[in-house]
Structures are given as C-alpha cells and as structure tokens.
Amino acid sequence: MLIDLHPQPADMARLVHQGMADQPKQLPAWLLYDAEGSRLFDAICEQPEYGLTRTETALLEAKAPELAAALGPGVLVEFGAGSARKVGPLLAALQPPAYVPLDISGEHLEASCQTLQAQYPTVPVLGICCDYSALDQLPAHPLLEGQRLLGFYPGSSLGNFTPQQAQALLSQFAHLLGPDAQLLIGIDQPKAVERLEAAYNDAAGFSAAFAKNLLVRLNRDLGGTFDPQAFRYQARWQSEHSRIAMALISDREQTVRLAGRDWTFAAGEALISEYSVKYGPQAFAELAAAAGWRCAQRWSDANDDLSLHLLVRADSGHTHP
C-alpha cells in the first residue's frame, strides 16, 4: 500500500530556483534520488570504501532484541527508507502493529514495501512517498490512528542537512511522531580523513555517477540543459564543518538553462550536490537537545565508527534505558 505525496513540479522548480541562487549553488539532497539515483546509491552502499551501511546493518542485527526492548511497543515509522534493507531485524524483534516507510523515490519504495510485506506478513506495511523534510503531519490512516509512534532514521541521513536544518528536522520529527515518541537514529562519526574521502569517492566510480545523475535528472524533470561531461565530481573533507562536501565542478565558464531560467557557472565553480556532516556523540547529543530530544542510550560498533542513538523527548519524564 502506498500513499503518494511526492512534491509537484512547481515545488521542485521553486526549490531549484532558491538553491541555484545560493552561494555556493546547492540543491536539496533528495533530488539525487530518482529511480536511477536510488539504484546508484544502493551500489555505493556495497562498495568496499563505504563502510557505513555494512557497519550499521551489522549493529542493527546484533542489537535488535535490545533495541526493540528499549523502544517498546508502537508503529515503526522509517524516514528515508529507500530499499528498507536495514529494518528487517528490528521488525522481527519488535513485531510492531505496522511499519510505515517514508521515501522520496516512489518506484523504489513500492518495490521495498512489497518485498518487506512478503517477508513479514504479520506486519502491515504502509509506504508514503514524500519529502519527509517538508512533511507537516503524517496522513490520516487507520494503521496510525491512536498508535504510539517510534521513529527510525538510520544511515546517517541527518548528515545530509546542515546542522541548522538538522536541528529543525529533529524538532519536526518530534512534532510528527507525537508526545510519547522515541527516535532511533544512526549517526556516522568523524574518522580519518583518508577513510572519509575514499568512502565518498569510490574507485569504481559509483559516487561520481550518483552525483552526475543529478544533472541528468534535472535535464529530464526540470527542462535542464546540463552537459554532465562538462562537470567533474569532487568529495572533500572540510574539518572546520566536520563534513564531506560533494560537488560537481564546472570545467569551464558556461550557462545552463534550468527550471525556466539561465544560470551561469564560472570555470571551477561548484554546484554542491550534498554535504555529509559527521557528529561525534557529544556534538550529536547537543544537537538533539537543541531540538527537544534527550539521548537515552547509545550503541556503537567495535571501532566506534558509527552510533545508534535512542532519543526520547526531553519533556517526557521517560527514565528508562
């Protein structure tokens, strides 16, 4: 079952106008995820240099019963579920009354819903295709009515927002999930620069293809005239911001038409395709606190590369881990 709330072309054009007028030019990360972008992202997750997915999946598998016990009963709402490959152990341990994956990539989401429904026939699955960062409220649905909601936000996708946007997003999740909610969130941590830069610039070229697919997508869906060959992909660690900046660098001065307007690039000018901010446990706890959440418990892998944080509402009086 799928509810389709994908942004309309006029909304996409408005966001593109805003982002292209920014300095540096930058577009919302969710535009990367058309059907091809979602496929390329899945391929990135399997590259030897990109350990995030493997580490988090292993941690979820190992800790699923503990995580389920800490979360308690409720409908599981996953933000940015994509292929929903991580949630299995949690569904098995939690046996929630329903599982509600949200994702921007409709076709991809539909396929994941079908696969999961077949694997977990006792858990009703309700997919919602949407930009979860712009969702004011969850749609009314019998599966959600009167239920306590548990948020699940793995993959460190919070890092694809600036810290200011990330704080707003965490506050919005609190609002969407309601007073009794908890949020289980996966956060990638800072580590050696060489490892970080390699993770976002895999030798097989999937990271570059993923970023360049943005231009193909913009050409197709928003009347763009980008020549992907005229841009080069770059991923750099910016320690002052604790983030990887992924960019498409214009190899010459050029003017591109997009969403009904002309945009000029200087030679060497960047179009930021994505940031990926990394938070250590302390920095993340501060960010969560600013958004009204308290870190109740943390799990991490043996190398302490990545954390799963269990967040409870700061005003809930909930004392359990």
Residues lying near ligand AVI in the complex (CB under 6 A): 44, 52, 155-157, 159-160, 200, 207, 210, 274, 276
Residue of closest CB approach to ligand AVI: 276
Contact (CB, 8 A) for 83 and 42: yes
CA distances from 175 to 98, 133, 181, 232 (A): 19, 12, 9, 40
Nearer to ligand AVI, 112 or 147 (CB): 112
Q: In angstroms, what is the minimal distance from the CB of 24 to ligand AVI?
A: 17
* DSSP state letters, 194-243: HHHHHHTS-TTSHHHHHHHHHHHHHHHHS-----GGGEEEEEEEEGGGTE
Q: In angstroms, what is the minimal distance from the CB of 283 to ligand AVI?
A: 16
Contact (CB, 8 A) for 144 and 100: yes
Q: In angstroms, what is the minimal distance from the CB of 262 to ligand AVI?
A: 28
Contact (CB, 8 A) for 92 and 119: no
Q: In angstroms, what is the minimal distance from the CB of 206 to ligand AVI?
A: 8
Nearer to ligand AVI, 26 or 156 (CB): 156
Q: In angstroms, what is the minimal distance from the CB of 319 to ligand AVI?
A: 31
Nearer to ligand AVI, 52 or 100 (CB): 52
CA distances from 149 to 9, 83, 110, 173, 296 (A): 31, 21, 22, 11, 17
Nearer to ligand AVI, 83 or 156 (CB): 156
Nearer to ligand AVI, 168 or 314 (CB): 168
